[in-house]
Structures are given as structure tokens and as C-alpha cells.
Amino acid sequence: MYAKVIVDISHEKLDKGFDYRIPAHLENEIYPGVLVNIPFGKGNRIIQGYVTSLSETAGYEADKIKEIDSIVKNSIPIEGRLISLAWFIKENYGSAMNQALKTVIPIKETKKSVYTKRVILVDDIVSVDDAIEKYERKHATARLKLLYALKENKEMDWSLVGKLGVSLSVAKALENEGLVEIKEEAVYRNPIKYTDLKPYDIKLNKEQEKISKSIFTYIENKSQGFGGVHLIHGITGSGKTEVYIDIIDKVIKKGKEIIVLIPEIALTYQTVMRFYRKFGDKVSIINSKLSAGERFDQFERAKNGDIKIMIGPRSAIFTPFRNLGLIIIDEEHEGTYKSETAPRYHAREAAIFRAQNEGAAVILGSATPAVDSYYKALTGEYNLYELKNRAKTSIPADVHVVDMRQELAKGNRTMFSDKLDQLIKDRLEKKQQIMLFINRRGYAGFVSCRECGKAMKCPHCDVGLTLHNNNKLICHYCGYEVAMPKNCPECNSKYIAAFGTGTQKVEEAVKKMYPTARTLRMDMDTTNKKDGYEKILSQFSNGEADVLIGTQMIVKGHDFPNVTLVGIIAADLSLYASDYRSSEKTFQLLTQAEGRAGRGKLRGEAVIQTYSPENGSIIAASKQDYTEFYNQEILYRTISEYPPVVSLMAIQLTSKDEKFLDKLSIMVKQMIGKSGVDTKELRIIGPANANVSRINDVYRKVIYIKCKEYKKLIWVKDYIENYFEKMEENKKASIQFDFNPMSGF
């Protein structure tokens, strides 16, 4: 057996590893992440390195490979644990180890460090008085200014020294004479700038307190090992965040550290404010809007124990805490927790592996849990807790479902139904706030008839067909295709088209129909600057706008007490997307959106505009009934054999050579049968053209495999990976694997 050992994990070139032979007496003790002593260089000096991977074959001539000297005993440094996590990601999601390492290990890029500089008076008053007398004779004005100031204050920040008009050379000259000392210290960049926040003073109600106590007791009893996975299913406004904060407070008092994952950067603003009110400077954040230097500094602060809580999206799971006690994943159902680039890991699974490895616990929270998570909770893999009531005196919003087919029939051609129009006018008159939600991501996601509501769906899969630019409707799961009809096949209406509108169109319509309304728009265009999210959310929170128009980012987790109306412009945008999860996503989005209304003292209302009011997901969402939705959805998944009932692996093949790709995709399908897994246990779909069959002149094919056992799909993945690596023509194509994909290729 051989081990790949990496010597310097602070270096940007993380794939620079060295092969070492594993001595027979250490074979059972060597694993990815373990710290070992190795002979290095011509002099064979003994240095330390981390094992990143194991292999039965050597990278070059076996007789020239050195042997691992020994294992470093008594400690597993945080770097070792993170390398172990990288190995888990590599093994379970299909990627190169160096890809996984670069995802997991925080690398310091070449950035200027930030320093603070102080000038300190050397404590010898006699010599200073003598020096002042000397410089008065010489009329050395700058030196005198600094000495007089220091005589009064003993110590000065460099910014104040600069205001005196004193240069660094003057201070250096005084330092050389032994009169002052210049101290320079590196300081960590801190992205949190909140001040003067009211202290946290929320008391848990009985329902919240019972759950907090139950989870913490479980964690305490399992303190030497894994603290379990706990799913809190709480309706919108039930106070899940308060439960998190209460448990975090207890975990911190035990000397442990906490990672809090949130799905969107947009949620950082309100979430961090709540946590900062309770825990102050123990809290930090990490997200893609921070500079590279800021991101690295936050990881260093965590590693050094300067902070206890890290809040951020998916990548925060890799925070190098040394004494991790708890990982919380808020809005755990969100698709953003799944990476859409290699390695295609899911933060939930990575969190559970890390918690098991480091003796921590995992808490998942959502008003609309992922079907996968709820399934595991009901089968006993996770512990389930229910928050059935809103934490404050507010009650869930009244929900109105509007059939947009009827609006069209009575001549309403605007994007606002009569009901929504009436309620918008009412709220503007009462000086209450409104949120208008449009799921813009589904822009050309489905084709439907505006006359009868018929959506063009695949006859073999319960998913919508997607309109391609060759005027064909295609199913991305089985490859079925049909020409785009000119008239509706159900009612022969000519009003059939790809359905889609965007936030800008909604904003234009609001300004035209309600000229006095002050609007804010929140989407990728308006939040591309560093503080874009915070500025828009704080403006809306401060009452500087009447209407907030936005995409998914406005409906998740925000709490605005003056919002009493939520309008969902087009519920169907996500309903007929080419994805077996489309019903789940629709239910989640609608329920989350409805939950933004009436969170204060005033009663809230929500309007769902749809062409499919009879759809089960929309009916369940209008009643905010998760159980009803789950029961119908798990039945569909069982009949259709989709996760979580079975596991699904997608294999994406890409190449610039279309003919070679066709041959390769057939060869890969044949390889599946040679992998050693009985093909009777597998359901293979494809190869077929991917969702977008060509990007930048690179052709794409996809194969889907369904199997009840996840481990058998891993086996198939490993076999195909090994075969692909040995192929002479492998450089002409690339291969990617995605397990239980959140979206189709």
C-alpha cells in the first residue's frame, strides 16, 4: 500500500503530494487525514505531513519510494480532520482529491495583511526631558510634537501620530535613540460592523423550551461521541432561531464552537444581527461577498479560538474550529446547500460526516423540510421535533388562491389579479408594506396554455417539457421530445407559449399601476455589489419603501413586522420545471412566501396567482399543510422510483468531439454492466443529450442510474472512474458524477 502525503497545506498548490510506502506494521493505522513523520529531501530529514489518499499502486518507480517513518501520536489537528472530510467528499461525490482539498482547506492567497501601528514612550522621564531640551535648542519641531504628545498619553495609535504631521522617519529616529518604541501588529479583518444593537432578551415559550431542552439533553448524553441529527419542523414564525440561540448558548458554555449555515447571503443581515445581539464579538461571518483576505482572516480567527460562532452559506461548513460542538443548518431544504460544481457535495451530508468525526451534533431546521430529510426523520435516522405554533401572538396569513385563467376570461391582461390589485391598494392606503415574489429562475421553464391551464408534460415522467431553441419540447429525464404545438392540444387555443416574466417587468407594472408606491427590487442585478443585500433589506426594514419586489431571496427567513401582504405573481414557474422535485420546490417557495406576511401585530394575507389551482402542491401550500404535501409527494416518489425511496446518480460526459462523445456515452453505459453490481438492481436511463446539449461548443450527454442502495452507486462510480483514468483518449472528454442531483443536467 502507498500513501499520498502533502507537506504544506497552506500552499495554493494543494495537489502537490508525495508518494510514500506504508510499512506493514502501520497499514491498519494509516488513513486520509492522519499526521505522519516522513523522511524528506536528499538528507532524509524527518518532517511532518498529512496523508491525503491511499493507493495500491505507486505514482512512479516503487523501489525509489521512501517509507513513512511513524504516525504523530496523541492528536488529530484540525487540518487532519478537514483532509478526512475532503476524502469523504471525494469518495462520495466523485471528484479528484485535489479538487476536494481546495474546496475544504482555506488557502491563504497572496494578499496584503492589515497591520495596526502604535508608538509607545519608553518609560524614562529624565531622558525624555533631556531630549526635549536638546530638540528645543535645535528647533526640531516634528520630534518635539511627538515627544510632548507621548509625555501626555504614553502611547498613541499611528493614525493620531499622522494627524500631528509627524512622519515615520521622525518616529524611527526617536526609536533609534531609545526614546520611543514602534509596535506593529497584524490585525484580522472583521466584516461585522454592527454597533449599538439592543441586547437579546427573548424568552422561550413552552413549546420552544421543550425542544431546546430535549436536544441539549441528547447532546449531553452523547458528549463523548456523535450528538445525533435533529430535525426541527416548525411552521413559519414559530421561532426556530430562538431555539437555535438557546442551544448555542448552552453549547458555548461547555467550551464548544458552532457553525450556523444559512442558504442565502441575503439572510446574513437579519440572522447575524440576532446572533450578534446575544453573543457579540464571538460571532463572525463568511460568504462570497467578502474579499479573499477577509475570508482567510475569518478562518484564522476561528482556528485561533478568537470566535465561537461562524455564520455563512455552504462553505462555512469547512470552518477550522478545533473544538466543534454543533452544526446548525437553517432552511435545510434549500437547494443552495448542494454544490452545482465539482465536487458536487451536499452540505447536509458533509455536516453529518464532520459531526460524526468530531463528536458534534447537527440540527436541521425548516418550515418545509426536504422530503429526503423528513423521510429519514420518520424512519428514525434523524430525531424529529415539531413547532406547531407561531412564537408571537401573530397567526398564519390568510391565503387566497386566484385562478389566472378566469382573470384572462374576464379580460384582465395585467400581471395582477383583481384580488391582488385590491389588496395592494388597501395596504398602500394603510401605510403597510407589501412583498411581491416572482421566481425568475424558471424563465422559460415550462410551456402552458393561458386559456385552459394545460401544461406540456412528458407522458413518461411527471415533469414539464422544456422549450429548446430548435422549437422542440424535450424531457430531460428520458429524452422524449415533441415539436412545439401552435395550438393547445387540449382546447385548441392559440394562447400557448413559454411562460415567464421577471422582477424588472413586475417593478415596471407596479410603478405604472401604483405611481405613489415606493419600490425596491432585490435580485441578482441589484445585489451584485458587496453590501447590496444589507442596503436593500435595511431600507425596507426602516420603512423607506412600500413594496419589495424580488426573487427567491426575499421569501426566506426575513422578518418584517409591517409586511401584511405577500403577492406570488406566478406560482407555476417552478411547478412545471423539468425536475422531479418541482412539486416540492413549489410547495416550499409558496409556504415560505406566505410566511413573510403578518409576522407582527397586524393580520397578514397572501395571494397565490396560478393557472393550476387544482394542483396538490398549491392546495397544500394554501393551507400550509406540510403533512398533506409530504404524503402525496412520497407516494409519487415511491411509484416513480425517485429519491429518497431510491438513490439516483447522474453521470455527465462532455467533449468538443460530438461523435467521440456519442461512442463514449455508449461505452460508459456498457461499463455499468461490468462494474460487478447486478444490473437487475439498477435502472439505467440514457445516454441522452443533457438539458443544454452544447455550451461553448462543448457537447454534453447524461446517463441516470437508479438504485435502492447508495453504496452500489458509489461502487459503479469508482469502477467507471478507474476505467476512464486508464483510457488513452480520456483527455478528449471529461466525466462528472452527481448523486441525488438537486437539478437536472
Res. 110 pLDDT band, cuts 50 70 90:
very low
Average of per-residue pLDDT across 170-184: 84
∠ CA 715-721-725, rounded to 5°: 150
**How many residues are recorded in the chain?**
745
More confident: 151 or 418: 418
Indicate if the pLDDT at residue 147 is higher than 70: yes
Residue for cell digits 472528454? 733
> Highest mean pLDDT: which of 135-139, 188-192, 552-556?
135-139
In angstroms, the CA 263 to CA 656 distance is 35
* SS3 state of residue 362: strand
Q: Domain 647-739: what homologous superfamily?
A: Ribosomal protein S10 (3.30.70.600)
What pLDDT was estimated at residue 376?
97
Q: Do domains 2-104 and 206-387 have the same CATH topology?
A: no
Q: Per residue in 575-617, pLDDT tens?
A: 777 788 989 999 998 998 898 888 878 889 999 999 999 999 9
Q: Give the gyration radius of the chain's Cα atoms.
A: 30
To the nearest 10 degrees (0 to 180), the angle between helices 141-153 and 125-138 is: 160
Average of per-residue pLDDT across 416-438: 95
What pLDDT was estimated at residue 728?
81
Q: In the CATH scheme, what architecture does the domain 2-104 have?
A: 3-Layer(aba) Sandwich (3.40)
What pLDDT was estimated at residue 530?
64
What pLDDT was estimated at residue 442?
31
What pLDDT was estimated at residue 325?
95
More confident: 702 or 63: 702
CA-wise closest residue to 268 among 523, 525, 531? 531
More confident: 40 or 252: 252
Q: Per residue in 259-284, pLDDT tens?
A: 999 987 655 566 778 888 889 889 99
User: Can you give the three-state secondary structure of 324-360, one letter per residue?
Assistant: EEEEEEECCCCHHHECCCCCCCEHHHHHHHHHHHHCC
Share of the chain above pLDDT 70, in %: 89
Neighbours of 207 (CB within 10 A): 18
What pLDDT was estimated at residue 444?
43
Indicate if the pLDDT at residue 111 is higher than 80: no
Query: Could you tell me which residues come within 8 angstroms of residue 128 by beta carbon, excluding any fewer than 6 positions away?
Result: 121, 122, 147, 150, 151, 179
What pLDDT was estimated at residue 32?
86
Lowest mean pLDDT among 286-300, 306-320, 648-662: 286-300
Element at 270 (helix H, strand E): helix 268-279
In angstroms, the CA 143 to CA 131 distance is 9
What pLDDT was estimated at residue 610?
93
206-387 domain in CATH 3.40.50.300? Answer: yes
What pLDDT was estimated at residue 300?
84
Neighbours of 107 (CB within 10 A): 16
> Dihedral sign, CA of 639, 642, 643, 648?
positive
What pLDDT was estimated at residue 191?
64
Domains of the chain: which residue ranges?
2-104, 114-187, 206-387, 398-443+500-637, 647-739
Share of the chain above pLDDT 90, in %: 40
Average of per-residue pLDDT across 315-327: 94
Average of per-residue pLDDT across 718-729: 86
Helices (H), 396-494: 404-409, 418-429
CA dihedral 574, 576, 580, 582 (to 10 degrees): 20
Indicate if the pLDDT at residue 476 is higher than 70: no
Indicate if the pLDDT at residue 625 is higher than 90: yes
Cβ atoms 598, 497 nearer than 8 A? no
What pLDDT was estimated at residue 207?
94
What pLDDT was estimated at residue 17?
76
Res. 211 pLDDT band, cuts 50 70 90:
very high
| Assigned fold of 398-443+500-637 | Rossmann fold (3.40.50)
Cβ atoms 241, 390 nearer than 8 A? no
Cell of 565: 401582504
Indicate if the pLDDT at residue 347 is higher than 90: yes
Indicate if the pLDDT at residue 500 is higher than 60: no
User: What is the pLDDT of the chain when averaged over all its residues?
Assistant: 85
Average of per-residue pLDDT across 56-76: 80
More confident: 218 or 122: 218
